[in-house]
Structure 1
Protein backbone atom coordinates (compact mmCIF):
# COMPACT_ATOMS: atom_id res chain seq x y z
CA UNK A 1 0.00 0.00 0.00
CA UNK A 2 1.21 3.50 -0.77
CA UNK A 3 2.07 5.89 2.02
CA UNK A 4 1.11 9.52 2.58
CA UNK A 5 2.36 12.38 4.71
CA UNK A 6 0.18 13.62 7.54
CA UNK A 7 0.62 17.32 8.11
CA UNK A 8 3.92 19.09 7.60
CA UNK A 9 5.86 17.79 10.58
CA UNK A 10 7.23 14.58 9.04
CA UNK A 11 4.78 11.79 9.92
CA UNK A 12 4.24 9.21 7.17
CA UNK A 13 1.45 6.62 7.35
CA UNK A 14 -0.20 4.03 5.13
CA UNK A 15 -2.85 5.64 2.93
CA UNK A 16 -5.48 3.57 4.73
CA UNK A 17 -5.30 2.82 8.43
CA UNK A 18 -7.12 0.42 10.70
CA UNK A 19 -9.58 1.60 13.32
CA UNK A 20 -9.29 -0.84 16.20
CA UNK A 21 -12.13 0.24 18.51
CA UNK A 22 -14.51 -2.56 17.54
CA UNK A 23 -12.00 -5.19 18.59
CA UNK A 24 -12.65 -4.30 22.23
CA UNK A 25 -15.94 -2.45 22.56
CA UNK A 26 -19.07 -0.93 21.01
CA UNK A 27 -20.14 -3.64 18.56
CA UNK A 28 -20.70 -6.56 20.88
CA UNK A 29 -18.36 -9.34 22.02
CA UNK A 30 -15.12 -9.99 20.15
CA UNK A 31 -12.54 -12.74 20.10
CA UNK A 32 -9.02 -11.70 21.11
CA UNK A 33 -7.28 -14.30 18.97
CA UNK A 34 -9.29 -13.28 15.93
CA UNK A 35 -8.42 -9.63 16.59
CA UNK A 36 -4.73 -10.41 16.99
CA UNK A 37 -4.76 -12.36 13.73
CA UNK A 38 -6.46 -9.45 11.96
CA UNK A 39 -3.91 -6.97 13.29
CA UNK A 40 -1.08 -9.17 12.08
CA UNK A 41 -2.67 -9.60 8.67
CA UNK A 42 -3.11 -5.83 8.36
CA UNK A 43 0.62 -5.36 8.79
CA UNK A 44 1.27 -8.07 6.18
CA UNK A 45 -0.96 -6.15 3.73
CA UNK A 46 0.95 -2.91 4.19
CA UNK A 47 -1.30 -1.21 6.73
CA UNK A 48 1.03 0.50 9.18
CA UNK A 49 -1.32 3.07 10.80
CA UNK A 50 -3.33 1.80 13.77
CA UNK A 51 -5.90 3.86 15.66
CA UNK A 52 -6.95 3.30 19.26
CA UNK A 53 -7.92 5.32 22.37
CA UNK A 54 -7.86 4.95 26.12
CA UNK A 55 -11.67 5.16 25.99
CA UNK A 56 -11.96 1.97 23.93
CA UNK A 57 -12.80 -0.59 26.55
CA UNK A 58 -11.91 1.55 28.43
CA UNK A 59 -8.20 0.74 28.22
CA UNK A 60 -8.58 -2.78 26.77
CA UNK A 61 -7.96 -1.81 23.17
CA UNK A 62 -4.63 -0.15 23.90
CA UNK A 63 -3.57 -3.29 25.80
CA UNK A 64 -4.60 -5.42 22.80
CA UNK A 65 -2.39 -3.39 20.45
CA UNK A 66 0.47 -3.53 22.93
CA UNK A 67 0.22 -7.31 22.84
CA UNK A 68 -0.23 -7.54 19.08
CA UNK A 69 2.82 -5.50 18.17
CA UNK A 70 5.30 -6.60 20.80
CA UNK A 71 8.60 -6.95 18.94
CA UNK A 72 7.25 -5.13 15.87
CA UNK A 73 6.88 -1.63 17.23
CA UNK A 74 9.27 -0.13 14.68
CA UNK A 75 7.06 -1.34 11.82
CA UNK A 76 3.94 0.60 12.78
CA UNK A 77 2.53 4.04 13.52
CA UNK A 78 0.48 4.07 16.72
CA UNK A 79 -2.15 6.71 17.37
CA UNK A 80 -4.27 7.01 20.49
CA UNK A 81 -6.58 9.54 22.10
CA UNK A 82 -6.89 10.98 25.60
CA UNK A 83 -9.21 13.48 27.27
CA UNK A 84 -12.07 11.70 29.05
CA UNK A 85 -12.32 11.20 32.80
CA UNK A 86 -12.81 7.79 34.37
CA UNK A 87 -14.16 6.53 37.67
CA UNK A 88 -11.96 4.75 40.21
CA UNK A 89 -13.25 1.41 38.93
CA UNK A 90 -12.27 2.20 35.33
CA UNK A 91 -15.54 3.28 33.80
CA UNK A 92 -16.19 6.38 31.74
CA UNK A 93 -17.17 9.17 34.15
CA UNK A 94 -20.55 10.72 33.35
CA UNK A 95 -22.55 13.79 34.27
CA UNK A 96 -26.04 12.52 33.65
CA UNK A 97 -25.86 11.09 30.15
CA UNK A 98 -22.91 13.25 29.07
CA UNK A 99 -19.34 11.85 29.29
CA UNK A 100 -17.01 14.09 31.29
CA UNK A 101 -14.29 15.62 29.12
CA UNK A 102 -11.09 17.14 30.48
CA UNK A 103 -8.19 19.03 28.98
CA UNK A 104 -6.50 19.59 32.34
CA UNK A 105 -2.72 19.31 31.84
CA UNK A 106 -2.16 17.12 34.89
CA UNK A 107 -4.83 14.69 33.71
CA UNK A 108 -3.50 14.68 30.14
CA UNK A 109 0.04 13.83 31.25
CA UNK A 110 -1.25 11.04 33.50
CA UNK A 111 -3.43 9.69 30.68
CA UNK A 112 -0.52 9.58 28.24
CA UNK A 113 1.61 7.74 30.79
CA UNK A 114 -1.15 5.14 31.08
CA UNK A 115 -1.36 4.78 27.32
CA UNK A 116 2.40 4.28 27.10
CA UNK A 117 2.21 1.44 29.62
CA UNK A 118 -0.68 -0.31 27.91
CA UNK A 119 0.79 0.08 24.43
CA UNK A 120 4.13 -1.22 25.73
CA UNK A 121 6.11 1.53 24.09
CA UNK A 122 8.42 4.36 25.08
CA UNK A 123 6.83 6.84 22.68
CA UNK A 124 3.45 7.19 20.95
CA UNK A 125 3.56 8.42 17.38
CA UNK A 126 0.37 10.47 17.41
CA UNK A 127 -1.80 11.52 20.36
CA UNK A 128 -5.13 13.23 19.79
CA UNK A 129 -7.20 15.14 22.27
CA UNK A 130 -10.29 12.92 22.04
CA UNK A 131 -12.80 15.68 22.81
CA UNK A 132 -12.47 19.38 23.56
CA UNK A 133 -12.96 20.57 27.14
CA UNK A 134 -14.81 23.91 27.03
CA UNK A 135 -13.63 24.67 30.57
CA UNK A 136 -9.92 24.47 29.73
CA UNK A 137 -8.49 26.80 27.07
CA UNK A 138 -7.26 24.71 24.17
CA UNK A 139 -3.98 26.62 24.32
CA UNK A 140 -3.37 25.21 27.80
CA UNK A 141 -4.06 21.61 26.75
CA UNK A 142 -1.95 21.87 23.61
CA UNK A 143 0.83 23.30 25.76
CA UNK A 144 0.71 20.16 27.90
CA UNK A 145 0.84 17.92 24.83
CA UNK A 146 3.71 19.98 23.44
CA UNK A 147 5.53 19.41 26.71
CA UNK A 148 5.11 15.67 26.23
CA UNK A 149 6.61 16.00 22.75
CA UNK A 150 9.56 17.84 24.30
CA UNK A 151 9.92 15.02 26.85
CA UNK A 152 10.00 12.39 24.11
CA UNK A 153 6.75 10.73 25.22
CA UNK A 154 4.84 11.50 22.03
CA UNK A 155 5.92 12.51 18.54
CA UNK A 156 2.97 14.35 17.03
CA UNK A 157 -0.25 16.02 18.20
CA UNK A 158 -3.80 15.89 16.84
CA UNK A 159 -7.38 16.82 17.68
CA UNK A 160 -10.55 14.76 17.37
CA UNK A 161 -14.08 16.07 16.82
CA UNK A 162 -13.00 19.73 17.16
CA UNK A 163 -14.44 22.85 15.57
CA UNK A 164 -12.58 24.82 12.92
CA UNK A 165 -12.05 27.65 15.40
CA UNK A 166 -10.48 25.33 17.97
CA UNK A 167 -8.27 23.75 15.32
CA UNK A 168 -6.93 27.16 14.33
CA UNK A 169 -6.29 28.16 17.95
CA UNK A 170 -4.52 24.88 18.70
CA UNK A 171 -2.41 25.00 15.55
CA UNK A 172 -1.20 28.49 16.49
CA UNK A 173 0.31 27.07 19.70
CA UNK A 174 1.99 24.08 18.09
CA UNK A 175 1.42 22.75 14.57
CA UNK A 176 -1.11 19.91 14.51
CA UNK A 177 -0.29 16.83 12.49
CA UNK A 178 -3.81 15.45 12.14
CA UNK A 179 -7.47 16.06 12.84
CA UNK A 180 -9.77 13.06 13.16
CA UNK A 181 -13.47 13.36 12.49
CA UNK A 182 -16.30 11.20 11.27
CA UNK A 183 -16.45 11.63 7.52
CA UNK A 184 -18.10 9.38 4.97
CA UNK A 185 -20.82 9.21 2.34
CA UNK A 186 -23.07 8.92 5.39
CA UNK A 187 -21.67 11.95 7.27
CA UNK A 188 -20.33 14.96 5.35
CA UNK A 189 -20.54 17.62 8.04
CA UNK A 190 -16.83 18.42 7.81
CA UNK A 191 -17.51 19.93 4.39
CA UNK A 192 -19.98 22.44 5.85
CA UNK A 193 -18.60 23.29 9.30
CA UNK A 194 -15.28 24.65 8.07
CA UNK A 195 -13.13 21.79 9.35
CA UNK A 196 -12.01 20.42 5.98
CA UNK A 197 -11.28 23.92 4.75
CA UNK A 198 -9.24 24.70 7.87
CA UNK A 199 -7.07 21.59 7.78
CA UNK A 200 -6.35 22.04 4.08
CA UNK A 201 -5.44 25.69 4.55
CA UNK A 202 -3.17 24.90 7.51
CA UNK A 203 -1.55 21.78 6.06
CA UNK A 204 -2.98 19.37 8.62
CA UNK A 205 -3.77 15.73 7.79
CA UNK A 206 -7.41 14.64 7.92
CA UNK A 207 -8.33 11.22 9.29
CA UNK A 208 -11.77 9.90 8.34
CA UNK A 209 -13.13 7.78 11.16
CA UNK A 210 -16.26 5.67 10.60
CA UNK A 211 -15.80 5.81 6.81
CA UNK A 212 -18.28 2.92 6.58
CA UNK A 213 -20.99 4.70 8.55
CA UNK A 214 -20.72 2.22 11.44
CA UNK A 215 -21.42 -0.63 9.05
CA UNK A 216 -24.27 0.97 7.12
CA UNK A 217 -22.12 1.49 4.04
CA UNK A 218 -21.30 -2.19 3.78
CA UNK A 219 -24.80 -2.70 2.41
CA UNK A 220 -25.28 -5.77 4.60
CA UNK A 221 -26.93 -4.25 7.67
CA UNK A 222 -30.67 -4.42 7.11
CA UNK A 223 -32.17 -5.51 10.42
CA UNK A 224 -31.23 -4.60 14.00
CA UNK A 225 -32.27 -8.09 15.11
CA UNK A 226 -29.02 -9.37 13.61
CA UNK A 227 -26.99 -7.25 16.05
CA UNK A 228 -25.80 -8.41 19.45
CA UNK A 229 -27.89 -7.02 22.35
CA UNK A 230 -24.88 -4.94 23.52
CA UNK A 231 -24.15 -3.46 20.07
CA UNK A 232 -24.51 0.31 20.47
CA UNK A 233 -26.14 0.62 17.04
CA UNK A 234 -29.32 -0.71 18.58
CA UNK A 235 -29.55 2.68 20.29
CA UNK A 236 -28.03 4.89 17.58
CA UNK A 237 -30.65 7.34 16.25
CA UNK A 238 -29.73 6.59 12.64
CA UNK A 239 -30.67 2.95 13.13
CA UNK A 240 -34.11 3.62 14.58
CA UNK A 241 -37.59 3.48 13.02
CA UNK A 242 -38.17 5.88 10.15
CA UNK A 243 -34.51 6.93 10.18
CA UNK A 244 -33.47 3.34 9.50
CA UNK A 245 -35.86 2.99 6.59
CA UNK A 246 -34.76 6.29 5.04
CA UNK A 247 -31.10 5.38 5.42
CA UNK A 248 -31.59 1.97 3.87
CA UNK A 249 -32.91 3.72 0.74
CA UNK A 250 -29.74 5.83 0.68
CA UNK A 251 -27.63 2.68 0.93
CA UNK A 252 -29.55 1.11 -1.94
CA UNK A 253 -28.49 4.00 -4.18
CA UNK A 254 -24.84 3.67 -3.17
CA UNK A 255 -24.97 -0.10 -3.57
CA UNK A 256 -26.25 0.32 -7.11
CA UNK A 257 -23.23 2.44 -8.04
CA UNK A 258 -20.93 -0.14 -6.47
CA UNK A 259 -22.61 -3.00 -8.33
CA UNK A 260 -22.16 -1.20 -11.65
CA UNK A 261 -18.43 -0.98 -10.90
CA UNK A 262 -18.25 -4.62 -9.77
CA UNK A 263 -17.12 -3.85 -6.22
CA UNK A 264 -18.56 -3.96 -2.72
CA UNK A 265 -20.39 -0.90 -1.34
CA UNK A 266 -17.84 -0.79 1.48
CA UNK A 267 -14.99 -0.59 -1.04
CA UNK A 268 -16.72 2.22 -2.87
CA UNK A 269 -17.16 4.15 0.38
CA UNK A 270 -13.50 3.76 1.34
CA UNK A 271 -12.30 4.70 -2.15
CA UNK A 272 -14.49 7.82 -2.00
CA UNK A 273 -12.90 8.88 1.30
CA UNK A 274 -9.43 8.36 -0.13
CA UNK A 275 -10.29 10.33 -3.29
CA UNK A 276 -11.38 13.16 -0.98
CA UNK A 277 -7.74 13.40 0.13
CA UNK A 278 -8.31 11.93 3.57
CA UNK A 279 -6.85 8.89 5.33
CA UNK A 280 -9.75 6.58 6.20
CA UNK A 281 -9.45 4.19 9.13
CA UNK A 282 -12.20 1.60 8.56
CA UNK A 283 -12.63 -0.69 11.52
CA UNK A 284 -12.98 -4.45 11.44
CA UNK A 285 -11.97 -7.40 13.57
CA UNK A 286 -12.18 -10.00 10.80
CA UNK A 287 -9.52 -10.81 8.20
CA UNK A 288 -12.08 -11.28 5.43
CA UNK A 289 -13.37 -7.70 5.75
CA UNK A 290 -9.89 -6.31 6.31
CA UNK A 291 -8.73 -7.75 2.99
CA UNK A 292 -11.82 -6.32 1.28
CA UNK A 293 -11.17 -2.90 2.77
CA UNK A 294 -7.48 -2.87 1.89
CA UNK A 295 -8.27 -3.74 -1.73
CA UNK A 296 -10.22 -0.48 -1.95
CA UNK A 297 -6.94 1.44 -1.72
CA UNK A 298 -6.14 0.39 -5.29
CA UNK A 299 -9.43 1.59 -6.76
CA UNK A 300 -9.80 4.60 -9.02
CA UNK A 301 -13.09 6.46 -9.20
CA UNK A 302 -14.02 8.39 -12.33
CA UNK A 303 -15.41 11.91 -12.28
CA UNK A 304 -18.78 10.48 -13.33
CA UNK A 305 -18.71 8.05 -10.41
CA UNK A 306 -17.79 10.82 -7.96
CA UNK A 307 -20.64 12.95 -9.32
CA UNK A 308 -23.06 10.05 -9.00
CA UNK A 309 -22.03 9.57 -5.37
CA UNK A 310 -22.44 13.28 -4.66
CA UNK A 311 -25.96 13.07 -6.05
CA UNK A 312 -26.80 9.86 -4.19
CA UNK A 313 -25.33 10.92 -0.84
CA UNK A 314 -25.13 14.73 -0.55
CA UNK A 315 -24.59 16.61 2.68
CA UNK A 316 -27.49 15.94 5.05
CA UNK A 317 -28.76 12.86 3.20
CA UNK A 318 -28.55 10.55 6.24
CA UNK A 319 -31.56 10.67 8.54
CA UNK A 320 -31.06 11.10 12.30
CA UNK A 321 -28.27 12.28 14.56
CA UNK A 322 -24.94 10.42 14.70
CA UNK A 323 -25.10 9.74 18.46
CA UNK A 324 -27.34 9.99 21.46
CA UNK A 325 -27.92 13.52 22.78
CA UNK A 326 -25.34 12.96 25.55
CA UNK A 327 -22.58 12.05 23.12
CA UNK A 328 -23.57 14.79 20.69
CA UNK A 329 -22.99 17.28 23.49
CA UNK A 330 -19.26 16.44 23.45
CA UNK A 331 -18.77 17.25 19.76
CA UNK A 332 -17.73 20.32 17.86
CA UNK A 333 -16.25 22.54 20.61
Structure 2
Protein backbone atom coordinates (compact mmCIF):
# COMPACT_ATOMS: atom_id res chain seq x y z
CA UNK A 1 0.00 0.00 0.00
CA UNK A 2 1.13 3.54 -0.76
CA UNK A 3 1.47 6.24 1.90
CA UNK A 4 0.30 8.92 -0.57
CA UNK A 5 -2.23 11.38 0.80
CA UNK A 6 -5.65 11.49 -0.81
CA UNK A 7 -5.06 15.05 -1.97
CA UNK A 8 -1.77 14.06 -3.61
CA UNK A 9 -3.94 12.26 -6.17
CA UNK A 10 -6.39 15.07 -6.84
CA UNK A 11 -5.86 18.71 -7.77
CA UNK A 12 -9.16 20.17 -6.50
CA UNK A 13 -11.98 19.27 -4.12
CA UNK A 14 -15.53 19.77 -5.40
CA UNK A 15 -17.79 19.79 -2.35
CA UNK A 16 -21.51 19.21 -2.18
CA UNK A 17 -23.15 21.41 0.46
CA UNK A 18 -26.31 20.18 2.23
CA UNK A 19 -25.52 16.87 3.92
CA UNK A 20 -21.79 17.25 3.32
CA UNK A 21 -20.77 20.66 4.73
CA UNK A 22 -23.95 21.57 6.60
CA UNK A 23 -27.50 20.54 7.39
CA UNK A 24 -29.52 23.63 6.49
CA UNK A 25 -28.62 26.20 9.15
CA UNK A 26 -26.39 23.81 11.13
CA UNK A 27 -22.73 23.13 10.24
CA UNK A 28 -21.66 19.49 10.25
CA UNK A 29 -19.16 19.05 13.10
CA UNK A 30 -15.58 19.15 11.88
CA UNK A 31 -16.46 20.22 8.33
CA UNK A 32 -15.02 23.74 8.58
CA UNK A 33 -11.78 22.43 10.08
CA UNK A 34 -11.44 19.77 7.37
CA UNK A 35 -11.95 22.32 4.61
CA UNK A 36 -9.40 24.57 6.31
CA UNK A 37 -6.81 21.79 6.14
CA UNK A 38 -7.49 21.37 2.41
CA UNK A 39 -6.84 25.07 1.91
CA UNK A 40 -3.62 24.88 3.94
CA UNK A 41 -2.32 22.34 1.43
CA UNK A 42 -3.01 24.80 -1.37
CA UNK A 43 -5.64 22.55 -2.96
CA UNK A 44 -8.46 24.56 -4.63
CA UNK A 45 -11.95 24.15 -3.16
CA UNK A 46 -15.22 24.56 -5.02
CA UNK A 47 -18.65 24.46 -3.41
CA UNK A 48 -20.92 22.77 -5.95
CA UNK A 49 -24.68 23.15 -5.59
CA UNK A 50 -27.76 22.29 -7.62
CA UNK A 51 -29.47 25.30 -6.05
CA UNK A 52 -30.15 27.75 -8.88
CA UNK A 53 -32.17 30.20 -6.80
CA UNK A 54 -29.24 31.88 -5.02
CA UNK A 55 -26.32 33.84 -6.41
CA UNK A 56 -22.79 32.62 -5.56
CA UNK A 57 -22.37 35.57 -3.17
CA UNK A 58 -25.44 34.44 -1.19
CA UNK A 59 -24.13 30.88 -0.97
CA UNK A 60 -20.74 32.17 0.19
CA UNK A 61 -22.42 34.38 2.80
CA UNK A 62 -24.30 31.37 4.19
CA UNK A 63 -21.11 29.31 4.38
CA UNK A 64 -19.26 32.10 6.20
CA UNK A 65 -22.16 32.41 8.67
CA UNK A 66 -21.51 28.75 9.55
CA UNK A 67 -17.80 29.28 10.06
CA UNK A 68 -16.69 28.04 6.64
CA UNK A 69 -14.55 30.64 4.82
CA UNK A 70 -15.81 30.96 1.25
CA UNK A 71 -15.46 33.37 -1.64
CA UNK A 72 -18.18 33.78 -4.30
CA UNK A 73 -15.63 32.71 -6.90
CA UNK A 74 -15.40 29.33 -5.15
CA UNK A 75 -19.12 28.65 -5.60
CA UNK A 76 -20.35 26.75 -8.65
CA UNK A 77 -24.13 26.65 -9.13
CA UNK A 78 -26.41 24.89 -11.56
CA UNK A 79 -27.55 28.34 -12.73
CA UNK A 80 -24.00 29.11 -13.86
CA UNK A 81 -23.73 25.74 -15.59
CA UNK A 82 -27.09 26.32 -17.31
CA UNK A 83 -25.97 29.75 -18.55
CA UNK A 84 -22.86 28.15 -19.99
CA UNK A 85 -24.95 25.51 -21.79
CA UNK A 86 -27.07 28.28 -23.27
CA UNK A 87 -24.04 30.30 -24.37
CA UNK A 88 -22.69 27.25 -26.20
CA UNK A 89 -25.96 26.61 -28.03
CA UNK A 90 -27.62 29.92 -28.89
CA UNK A 91 -26.38 33.11 -30.54
CA UNK A 92 -24.99 36.05 -28.58
CA UNK A 93 -27.75 38.43 -27.50
CA UNK A 94 -30.51 35.88 -28.08
CA UNK A 95 -33.71 36.08 -26.03
CA UNK A 96 -33.89 33.50 -23.23
CA UNK A 97 -37.13 33.05 -21.33
CA UNK A 98 -36.30 32.63 -17.64
CA UNK A 99 -38.43 30.59 -15.26
CA UNK A 100 -36.70 31.15 -11.94
CA UNK A 101 -35.18 33.80 -9.71
CA UNK A 102 -33.49 37.07 -10.52
CA UNK A 103 -30.16 35.36 -9.80
CA UNK A 104 -30.77 32.95 -12.67
CA UNK A 105 -31.72 35.84 -14.96
CA UNK A 106 -28.49 37.60 -13.97
CA UNK A 107 -26.45 34.54 -14.98
CA UNK A 108 -28.20 34.53 -18.37
CA UNK A 109 -27.47 38.22 -18.90
CA UNK A 110 -23.90 37.72 -17.76
CA UNK A 111 -23.44 35.07 -20.44
CA UNK A 112 -24.13 37.66 -23.15
CA UNK A 113 -27.78 36.67 -23.63
CA UNK A 114 -30.98 38.63 -22.97
CA UNK A 115 -33.24 37.37 -20.20
CA UNK A 116 -36.98 37.89 -20.70
CA UNK A 117 -40.07 36.81 -18.79
CA UNK A 118 -42.72 36.70 -21.51
CA UNK A 119 -43.00 35.41 -25.05
CA UNK A 120 -42.70 38.38 -27.38
CA UNK A 121 -39.82 38.60 -29.81
CA UNK A 122 -38.38 35.28 -30.97
CA UNK A 123 -37.36 33.13 -28.00
CA UNK A 124 -34.22 31.10 -28.62
CA UNK A 125 -34.29 29.16 -25.35
CA UNK A 126 -36.05 28.57 -22.05
CA UNK A 127 -34.05 28.12 -18.85
CA UNK A 128 -35.79 26.76 -15.77
CA UNK A 129 -34.57 26.86 -12.19
CA UNK A 130 -36.27 26.72 -8.81
CA UNK A 131 -38.07 29.74 -7.46
CA UNK A 132 -40.73 29.69 -4.72
CA UNK A 133 -42.58 32.33 -6.76
CA UNK A 134 -42.96 30.24 -9.93
CA UNK A 135 -46.66 30.09 -10.85
CA UNK A 136 -48.95 28.94 -13.66
CA UNK A 137 -48.40 32.07 -15.80
CA UNK A 138 -44.63 31.44 -15.75
CA UNK A 139 -45.10 27.84 -16.84
CA UNK A 140 -47.60 28.92 -19.50
CA UNK A 141 -45.08 31.31 -21.09
CA UNK A 142 -42.43 28.58 -21.05
CA UNK A 143 -44.87 26.06 -22.52
CA UNK A 144 -45.60 28.34 -25.48
CA UNK A 145 -41.90 28.91 -26.15
CA UNK A 146 -40.93 25.26 -25.85
CA UNK A 147 -43.77 24.09 -28.06
CA UNK A 148 -42.66 26.68 -30.62
CA UNK A 149 -39.23 25.05 -30.80
CA UNK A 150 -37.13 26.92 -28.21
CA UNK A 151 -34.20 25.10 -26.65
CA UNK A 152 -35.09 24.03 -23.10
CA UNK A 153 -32.45 23.90 -20.34
CA UNK A 154 -33.26 22.83 -16.77
CA UNK A 155 -30.88 23.77 -13.99
CA UNK A 156 -31.63 20.47 -12.24
CA UNK A 157 -34.25 17.77 -11.90
CA UNK A 158 -34.43 17.65 -8.09
CA UNK A 159 -38.01 16.60 -7.43
CA UNK A 160 -37.94 17.97 -3.88
CA UNK A 161 -35.86 20.33 -1.78
CA UNK A 162 -35.27 20.15 1.97
CA UNK A 163 -36.78 22.87 4.15
CA UNK A 164 -37.53 23.38 7.83
CA UNK A 165 -41.04 22.10 7.02
CA UNK A 166 -39.75 18.95 5.35
CA UNK A 167 -39.40 18.04 1.68
CA UNK A 168 -41.23 20.48 -0.62
CA UNK A 169 -41.59 20.59 -4.44
CA UNK A 170 -38.30 21.32 -6.18
CA UNK A 171 -37.39 22.34 -9.70
CA UNK A 172 -37.87 18.82 -10.99
CA UNK A 173 -41.55 18.92 -10.01
CA UNK A 174 -42.04 22.04 -12.14
CA UNK A 175 -40.00 20.53 -14.97
CA UNK A 176 -42.32 17.52 -14.85
CA UNK A 177 -45.30 19.81 -15.42
CA UNK A 178 -43.73 21.29 -18.56
CA UNK A 179 -42.62 17.86 -19.74
CA UNK A 180 -46.22 16.69 -19.51
CA UNK A 181 -47.50 19.79 -21.30
CA UNK A 182 -44.94 19.82 -24.13
CA UNK A 183 -43.83 16.22 -24.65
CA UNK A 184 -40.24 17.54 -24.65
CA UNK A 185 -37.18 16.72 -22.56
CA UNK A 186 -34.82 19.45 -21.33
CA UNK A 187 -31.05 19.52 -21.35
CA UNK A 188 -29.98 19.31 -17.70
CA UNK A 189 -27.09 21.36 -16.32
CA UNK A 190 -26.97 20.21 -12.70
CA UNK A 191 -26.18 17.00 -10.88
CA UNK A 192 -26.27 14.13 -11.76
CA UNK A 193 -25.47 15.34 -15.28
CA UNK A 194 -21.82 16.25 -16.02
CA UNK A 195 -21.99 19.98 -16.98
CA UNK A 196 -21.93 21.35 -13.42
CA UNK A 197 -18.91 19.29 -12.40
CA UNK A 198 -17.11 20.16 -15.64
CA UNK A 199 -17.79 23.84 -14.97
CA UNK A 200 -16.53 23.60 -11.38
CA UNK A 201 -13.39 21.69 -12.37
CA UNK A 202 -12.52 24.21 -15.08
CA UNK A 203 -13.10 27.04 -12.63
CA UNK A 204 -10.46 25.46 -10.38
CA UNK A 205 -8.19 24.65 -13.36
CA UNK A 206 -8.30 21.03 -12.23
CA UNK A 207 -7.53 18.02 -14.41
CA UNK A 208 -8.21 15.36 -11.76
CA UNK A 209 -10.67 16.73 -9.17
CA UNK A 210 -12.29 14.85 -6.31
CA UNK A 211 -16.06 15.14 -5.89
CA UNK A 212 -17.25 14.82 -2.28
CA UNK A 213 -20.91 14.31 -1.45
CA UNK A 214 -23.51 12.49 0.59
CA UNK A 215 -25.94 11.45 -2.16
CA UNK A 216 -25.37 8.57 -4.53
CA UNK A 217 -28.07 9.64 -7.00
CA UNK A 218 -26.74 13.18 -7.52
CA UNK A 219 -23.20 13.72 -6.21
CA UNK A 220 -21.70 10.30 -6.91
CA UNK A 221 -23.71 9.61 -10.07
CA UNK A 222 -22.71 13.05 -11.35
CA UNK A 223 -19.05 12.31 -10.70
CA UNK A 224 -19.31 8.98 -12.50
CA UNK A 225 -21.02 10.66 -15.46
CA UNK A 226 -18.33 13.36 -15.52
CA UNK A 227 -15.54 10.77 -15.41
CA UNK A 228 -13.99 11.99 -12.14
CA UNK A 229 -13.27 10.32 -8.79
CA UNK A 230 -15.63 10.66 -5.85
CA UNK A 231 -15.70 10.29 -2.08
CA UNK A 232 -19.01 9.37 -0.45
CA UNK A 233 -19.47 10.59 3.13
CA UNK A 234 -22.04 9.28 5.61
CA UNK A 235 -23.10 12.65 7.06
CA UNK A 236 -26.21 12.98 4.90
CA UNK A 237 -28.77 10.73 3.30
CA UNK A 238 -26.70 7.79 2.05
CA UNK A 239 -26.48 4.78 4.35
CA UNK A 240 -24.16 1.80 4.40
CA UNK A 241 -26.98 -0.33 2.99
CA UNK A 242 -27.41 2.12 0.11
CA UNK A 243 -23.73 1.79 -0.74
CA UNK A 244 -23.81 -2.01 -0.79
CA UNK A 245 -26.79 -1.93 -3.16
CA UNK A 246 -25.38 0.80 -5.43
CA UNK A 247 -25.28 0.11 -9.16
CA UNK A 248 -22.21 0.88 -11.30
CA UNK A 249 -23.45 4.39 -12.13
CA UNK A 250 -23.58 5.35 -8.42
CA UNK A 251 -20.38 3.82 -7.00
CA UNK A 252 -17.74 6.08 -5.43
CA UNK A 253 -14.01 5.39 -5.47
CA UNK A 254 -13.64 6.27 -1.78
CA UNK A 255 -15.87 6.06 1.31
CA UNK A 256 -15.50 7.81 4.67
CA UNK A 257 -17.52 8.82 7.69
CA UNK A 258 -17.06 12.57 7.13
CA UNK A 259 -14.86 15.30 5.67
CA UNK A 260 -12.03 14.60 8.12
CA UNK A 261 -11.02 11.89 5.65
CA UNK A 262 -9.74 14.56 3.26
CA UNK A 263 -6.55 14.57 5.35
CA UNK A 264 -6.20 10.78 5.06
CA UNK A 265 -4.23 8.39 2.89
CA UNK A 266 -5.69 7.51 -0.48
CA UNK A 267 -5.21 3.74 -0.31
CA UNK A 268 -6.79 3.55 3.13
CA UNK A 269 -9.92 5.37 1.94
CA UNK A 270 -10.34 3.50 -1.34
CA UNK A 271 -12.96 0.80 -1.60
CA UNK A 272 -11.36 -2.64 -1.59
CA UNK A 273 -10.27 -5.50 0.71
CA UNK A 274 -9.02 -4.34 4.11
CA UNK A 275 -6.36 -6.12 6.20
CA UNK A 276 -8.48 -6.05 9.37
CA UNK A 277 -11.51 -7.74 7.86
CA UNK A 278 -12.41 -10.91 5.99
CA UNK A 279 -15.51 -10.69 3.81
CA UNK A 280 -16.52 -13.72 1.74
CA UNK A 281 -19.70 -14.90 0.03
CA UNK A 282 -21.52 -17.50 2.08
CA UNK A 283 -24.64 -18.72 0.36
CA UNK A 284 -27.03 -15.79 -0.06
CA UNK A 285 -25.06 -13.39 2.16
CA UNK A 286 -21.64 -11.91 2.71
CA UNK A 287 -20.00 -13.40 5.80
CA UNK A 288 -17.89 -10.97 7.84
CA UNK A 289 -15.03 -11.97 10.15
CA UNK A 290 -12.80 -9.66 12.13
CA UNK A 291 -9.06 -10.10 11.61
CA UNK A 292 -8.24 -7.47 14.18
CA UNK A 293 -10.35 -4.79 12.55
CA UNK A 294 -12.64 -2.49 14.53
CA UNK A 295 -13.14 0.54 12.30
CA UNK A 296 -16.64 0.66 10.80
CA UNK A 297 -15.73 2.76 7.76
CA UNK A 298 -12.89 0.35 6.95
CA UNK A 299 -15.29 -2.57 7.10
CA UNK A 300 -17.70 -0.71 4.84
CA UNK A 301 -14.97 -0.30 2.20
CA UNK A 302 -14.34 -4.04 2.27
CA UNK A 303 -18.06 -4.82 2.18
CA UNK A 304 -18.63 -2.55 -0.84
CA UNK A 305 -15.86 -4.27 -2.77
CA UNK A 306 -17.30 -7.71 -2.02
CA UNK A 307 -20.92 -6.70 -2.61
CA UNK A 308 -20.21 -5.07 -5.97
CA UNK A 309 -18.25 -8.10 -7.14
CA UNK A 310 -20.76 -10.71 -5.93
CA UNK A 311 -24.08 -8.82 -6.24
CA UNK A 312 -24.80 -9.79 -2.63
CA UNK A 313 -26.04 -6.95 -0.41
CA UNK A 314 -27.06 -9.01 2.66
CA UNK A 315 -24.44 -9.47 5.39
CA UNK A 316 -23.93 -11.88 8.29
CA UNK A 317 -21.44 -11.71 11.16
CA UNK A 318 -19.21 -14.67 11.98
CA UNK A 319 -17.93 -13.32 15.33
CA UNK A 320 -18.80 -10.84 18.06
CA UNK A 321 -16.55 -8.03 16.80
CA UNK A 322 -18.00 -8.32 13.32
CA UNK A 323 -21.53 -8.25 14.78
CA UNK A 324 -20.78 -5.13 16.81
CA UNK A 325 -19.26 -3.29 13.85
CA UNK A 326 -22.08 -4.28 11.51
CA UNK A 327 -24.54 -2.96 14.10
CA UNK A 328 -22.62 0.34 14.11
CA UNK A 329 -23.16 0.48 10.34
CA UNK A 330 -26.83 -0.52 10.84
CA UNK A 331 -26.24 -3.67 8.81
CA UNK A 332 -26.87 -7.30 9.57
**TM-score under structure 1 normalisation?**
0.34
Whichever of the two has the greater Rg, that structure is 2
- Looking at secondary structure, tell me which structure has more helix per residue: 1
- Looking at secondary structure, tell me which structure has more strand per residue: 2
Pick 1 or 2: higher relative contact order, CA cutoff 8 A, min separation 6: 1
